[in-house]
Amino acid sequence: MTFGAKGWGCDGRTSGEIIERYLEAGGNFIDTADIYSGSASEEIIGEALKSKKRDDLVLATKCFFRTGPSPNDKGLSRKHILSACEASLRRLRTDYIDLYTLHGADPFTSVEETMRALNDLVRQGKVRYLGCSNLFAWQILKANGISALLNLEKLVCGQYLYNLINREAEREILPACVDQGMGFTAWSPLGGGLLAGKYERREKPPEGTRISYRAEIDGPRFWHERGFEIARKVGEFSKKFGISPVKLALSWPLRDKRVTSIISGAKSREQLEGNLSVGDWDLPEDIWREVTRETAQDLGHLSQFAAHAYKSVFGEEEN
């Protein structure tokens, strides 16, 4: 998402260097979207990967958000999905997309139409697997239920906001993905930089920072009392356990067996090097359990009831 983003991201040259170093380190999964940096992200990635062995890579992109002025340049209709996929293929300079993700839910298009269009892309060889992002759990189950009924390709991966600040996915999204046999990728594991210790508690983000550029989007996600409090706790854990805040925040979701991978952006090679440190390292279970317990989020009555009922009936808490 940082690739080509003016102001808070990085230019094409730096993006190419980041991708090159990532591949050298053994990375193979690259995630983007047709709206990132006005589609520049896909173009930059396509340029960087043009000489690479395509089958060694897992390339993911998304569709849903508006990409042009036409009434058809948005949503999950057959018309938009097919045209958006073709445009992404051209920008990425590839014959196929490994993981094609619905970037949101379209209340004006039937789920059957959406899943049939996606199924056609798989049958045509333009897409290998289907995923979703920002759908409610019931929408995931509905989409996969319709696909099962009609013998269509199912959603196999969910991509969701998940970090020590934002743990709502534990309520229903993670259980839904487990139920459906789906993978789960966590985006923004550093909470927009708060968990890295980049920001101090204040009324507004400092001018020129990523959150200041994206205040309407990232502000409600991270810039609030819980965000500051969890960032403070992460700082304390970092000192207590001798683990950097970045390493602690990135490794925490990876310790959960339900999480397939994290999606971590970088705007410099130096940032990438810090992020790569968790690739060959596991957060000790005792530390993970303490951090998990001390940063718990109130997920409401149903979650409380389920935990109590499980312990009451089966004798232990569900993991």
Residues classed as catalytic: 36
- Give me the residue label for tokens 């892309």: 121
Residues in contact with 104: Cβ distance below 8 Å, sequence separation at least 6, in sequence order: 64, 65, 133, 134, 135
Structure tokens at 197: 């210790």
Is there a contact between 252 and 291 (Cβ–Cβ < 8 Å)? yes
Is there a contact between 249 and 191 (Cβ–Cβ < 8 Å)? yes
DSSP 69: S
The whole-angstrom separation of Cα 236 and Cα 243 is 10
The whole-angstrom separation of Cα 212 and Cα 207 is 6
DSSP 153: P
Is there a contact between 141 and 108 (Cβ–Cβ < 8 Å)? no
Per-position DSSP letters for 140-199, written without gaps between them:
HHHHHHHHHHHT-PPEEEEEEE-SSS--GGGTTHHHHHHHTT-EEEEE-TTGGGGGGT--
The whole-angstrom separation of Cα 122 and Cα 198 is 42
- Phi-psi map region of 197: left, alpha, beta (phi>0 left; psi -120 to 50 alpha): left
- Give me the residue label for tokens 């993991």: 319
Nearest Cα neighbor of 20 from 43, 50, 40, 42 is 50
Max Cα separation, the chain? 58
Burial environment of residue 15 by CB neighbours within 10 A (0 to 12, 13 to 18, 19 or more): buried
